[in-house]
Amino acid sequence: MLEADYVIVGSGSAGAALAYRLSEDGRHSVIVIEYGGSDFGPFIQMPAALSFPMNMSMYDWGFQSEPEPHLGGRVLATPRGKVIGGSSSINGMVYVRGHARDFDHWAEEGAAGWSYADVLPYFKRMENSDGGEDGWRGTDGPMHVRRGPQENPLYAAFIEAGRQAGFELTQDYNGSKQEGFGPMEQTIHKGRRWSTANAYLRPALKRQNVSLVNGFARRVVMENQRAVGVEIEVRKQIQVVKARREVVIAASSINSPKLLMLSGIGPAGHLRENGIEVVADRPGVGQNLQDHMELYIQQESLQPITLYSKLNLFSKALIGAQWLFFKSGLGASNHFEAAAFLRSAPGVDYPDIQYHFIPVAIRYDGKAAAKAHGFQAHVGPMRSKSRGSVTLRSADPREKPVIRFNYMSHPHDWLDFRHCIRLTRELFGQQAFDLYRGREIAPGDDVQSDEQLDAFIREHAESAYHPCGTCRMGRADDAMSVVDPECRVIGVEGLRVADSSIFPRITNGNLNAPSIMTGEKAADHILGRQPLSPSNQEPWINPRWRESDR
């Protein structure tokens, strides 16, 4: 009989953390439902191979956006992990908590108990930080976090260029001070990707009270407004996994709203159109979709020191062998080893631009490497005002949902992106890059006017793969809230959602860390525990924020 106290749908960043914490004291049984298979093998475990798993149907759900009207009708890939560890097994392994003010904003929006003071103790509980700021970081949690070796001189040039341009430096953007240029943190441990499968799920599965069920979740089974289990399909057979206490959906910002709607929880009109019986009319389900977009600003390098020389088959074989036998060398990094978090203008009180710097000119998906030595900055605004939606294509659980981001639909987005391009040019123009700076590969020196920049943005802006917000957390009396501040789905019993879909607003940076934190904190709410005591630590805010952007 498939039955447990808690049934979790999804083994990703939040789901794996939930499984670990809900089963920790041994008093409750937990079943984790995961459709994807094993993460065994070099494509996932080798950090430098990161472009492979997110483009493999074996590991990725293969979602795409609808044609984006403000991006010339382009269809953008929306990878989500279909494997144990979920998207933490296919992501870029970049570790960013988010800015303190992000979480204070959540609390102001109705997510009481999720301010920075409230969530900081959970970030500390989950972390095992190597080289982070004393007193601000955790050192004995399951999630190993480290800095890259920064052996390539271009990383230091990027950070020094920031200093020369008058910006702040920070030794730990996940500590007291996010703003500035500094080393980037990675979820890599002993040369391997440190996904939540490695950090949380495998240790949890060693316990007698945790089991993993491989199956496709079709809907949550509801009886008298209460979730009593999850209907799954296993080898063409329909089964029900029963939950004695609660069902927790942690299936991603794409699959969580889809599963709610298939279960009769969502906008009543939309459900009826698809022939689904309405259990709870929650108009916010699938709305409020947000993401980060980024551009690759690429510069040729005059010196042959970039990773370009390692893109040939012989070098790749050597790197692979060194990683396979020793878990060291270039294969053991994601190569995102320098970062910056900047403010776009005076009057912006905390960073709203993020940089990833990498010493090669190449696309995230591993395609279209420039045919020369080069380096690039991934840059994008962090707080777009554009909002999209996830809706059902039909009542068939096997059909992919309709994903509409509405990227660049707000006029501010265009101003922000133009500023990002011009700011990157200013940085690459600093003395620190004099030894290395060749011609500009992208956008290219001839792209200068607002119109030319806009055309480049329209054609080349990419998703940073940070979708969130589709099951927004807020006050129970707010019609657009989907879950309350304890992650309970409003209007039904015994059902919670805990993953990036509950974020009221996207955080400043990559979403893996705040998603894991969500799983950690939700576990305490589910178990009815007193949340960890709020922190009284004060984050650094630039004293010149009103007068200057730096």
pLDDT tens per residue across span 25-58: 999 999 999 999 999 989 999 999 998 999 899 9
Tell me the sheet residues that pair with 33: 9, 213
Tell me what pLDDT residue 166 has: 98
Structure letter (DSSP) for residue 530? P
Q: What pLDDT digit, counting tens, does each position of 371-418 carry? A: 899 999 999 999 999 999 999 999 999 999 999 999 999 999 999 999
Q: What pLDDT digit, counting tens, does each position of 318-339 carry? A: 999 999 999 999 999 999 999 9
Alpha helices by DSSP H, listed for 401-540, are: 411-428, 450-460, 512-526
Known binding-site residue numbers: 5-34, 83, 91-94
The alpha-carbon radius of gyration of the chain (Å, integer) is 23
Tell me the sheet residues that pair with 145: 129
From CA 419, how far away is CA 442, in angstroms rounded? 15
The CB density around residue 113, as the number of other CB atoms within 10 Å, is 15
Q: What pLDDT digit, counting tens, does each position of 189-217 carry? A: 999 999 999 999 999 999 999 999 999 99
- Rounded to 5 degrees, φ, ψ at 59 are -115, -10
Distances (CA, A) of 550 to 100, 433, 513, 547: 19, 20, 26, 9
- The string of DSSP letters for 36-97 reads SB---SHHHHSGGGTTTGGG-TTTB--EEPPPBGGGTTB--EE--B-BTTGGGGTS--B---
Q: What pLDDT digit, counting tens, does each position of 275-315 carry? A: 999 999 999 999 999 999 999 999 999 999 999 999 899 99
Task: For residue 369, name the pLDDT band (cuts at 50, 70, 90).
Answer: confident
CA–centroid distance for 443 within its chain: 26
Do residues 498 and 18 make contact, with C-beta atoms less than 8 angstroms apart?
yes
Tell me what pLDDT residue 404 has: 98
End-to-end alpha-carbon separation of the chain, Å? 61
Q: What six digits make up the tokens of 402?
A: 């309709």
Nearest to 88 by CA among 185, 187, 210, 212: 187
Residue 370 pLDDT exceeds 90: no
Tell me what pLDDT residue 368 has: 63
AA identity, residue 360: V
Q: What six digits make up the tokens of 265?
A: 């929880």
Distances (CA, A) of 437 to 154, 166, 312, 355, 546: 10, 20, 23, 18, 33
- 323: burial class by Cβ within 10 Å (0-12, 13-18, 19+)? buried
Structure letter (DSSP) for residue 197? I
AA identity, residue 369: A
Tell me what pLDDT residue 164 has: 98
Q: What six digits make up the tokens of 99?
A: 């800015």
From CA 302, how far away is CA 84, in angstroms rounded? 43
327 CB-near residues (< 8 Å, 6+ apart): 190, 191, 192
Distances (CA, A) of 303 to 272, 441, 442: 62, 15, 18
Known binding-site residue numbers for FAD: 5-34, 83, 91-94
Tell me what pLDDT residue 155 has: 98
Task: For residue 362, name the pLDDT band (cuts at 50, 70, 90).
Answer: confident
466 a catalytic residue: yes
Tell me what pLDDT residue 364 has: 63
Q: At what angle do helices 116-126 and 100-108 cross, to 10 degrees?
A: 130
Tell me what pLDDT residue 371 has: 86
Alpha helices by DSSP H, listed for 127-201, are: 153-164, 196
CA–centroid distance for 472 within its chain: 16
Give me the mean pLDDT over the 123-133 stretch.
97
Q: What does pLDDT average to over the chain?
A: 97
Q: What pLDDT digit, counting tens, does each position of 442-495 carry? A: 999 999 999 999 999 999 999 999 999 999 999 999 999 999 999 999 999 999
Return the CATH architecture of domain 1-65+76-144+187-285+469-532.
Answer: 3-Layer(bba) Sandwich (3.50)
Residue 366 pLDDT exceeds 70: no
Tell me what pLDDT residue 85 has: 98
Q: Is 420 left (phi over 0), alpha (psi -120 to 50) or beta?
A: alpha
Kindly list the domain boundaries of the chain, sorted by start residue.
Answer: 1-65+76-144+187-285+469-532, 149-183+293-381+408-460
In the numeric block, the tokens 């191979």 are attached to: 49
Nearest to 254 by CA among 409, 431, 63, 440: 63
Catalytically annotated residue among 335, 356, 466, 525: 466
Task: For residue 11, name the pLDDT band (cuts at 50, 70, 90).
Answer: very high
Residue 367 pLDDT exceeds 70: no
Q: What percent of the chain has pLDDT over 70?
A: 99
Give me the mean pLDDT over the 519-545 stretch.
98
Do residues 480 and 460 make contact, with C-beta atoms less than 8 angstroms apart?
no
Do residues 442 and 450 make contact, with C-beta atoms less than 8 angstroms apart?
no
Q: Is 469 left (phi over 0), alpha (psi -120 to 50) or beta?
A: left
Q: Which fold has domain 149-183+293-381+408-460?
A: Cholesterol Oxidase; domain 2 (3.30.410)
